[in-house]
Amino acid sequence: MGYLNTRSIATTVFIVATLLFSDLLNANVNNAKESNSRVYIVSPKNDSVVKSPVEIIFGIDEIKLAPAGTYEPKTGHHHLIIDGDLPDLKMPIPNNAKHLHFGKAQDRVILELELGTHTLQLLLGDGYHVPHSPPLTSKQIEITVIKN
């Protein structure tokens, strides 16, 4: 009987410790679940017809814009995805022509875009350029660049 009680107590302690440890692991600096954090494209609007160069203005709510290398809770910096899909959301965001990094906490950019239709989407990254959990993405918008 004493063995069963000891075993039950040990099992209970193990379960409680596992749950507490799991909560600590999930409470990382990227966690934005408990707020209304969001990123969005202020300008241009979806379906806009624009001329190049195009000024793209980024919006952010309930989270602080901070340079890359900042590891404080509720901080991040923008990444603009041009004509591409979201990258692997568990890995650092690529740095290439389709994934532009704004690691100095910029809130806008002026871009030369080719004539034609383009998609734009924001993805917020942490100090390591890894998307938050859950990821903070804007809606993907479409713009059309016409001749000047």
Listed in sequence order, the residues at least 6 apart from 16 whose beta carbon sits closer than 8 Å to its beta carbon are none
Residues 23 and 78 in one domain: no
Residues 104 and 73 in one domain: yes
Identify the residue with better confidence: 15 or 105.
105
Which of 29-33, 57-61, 78-82 is predicted with the least confidence, judged by mean pLDDT? Answer: 29-33
Residue 8: pLDDT band (50, 70, 90) is: low
Residues 122 and 139 in one domain: yes
- What range does the domain containing 15 cover? 1-30
Q: What is the pLDDT of residue 42?
A: 98
Average pLDDT over residues 130-137: 95
Residues 11 and 73 in one domain: no
Identify the residue with better confidence: 36 or 124.
124
pTM: 0.78
Residues 73 and 140 in one domain: yes
Average pLDDT over residues 16-31: 42
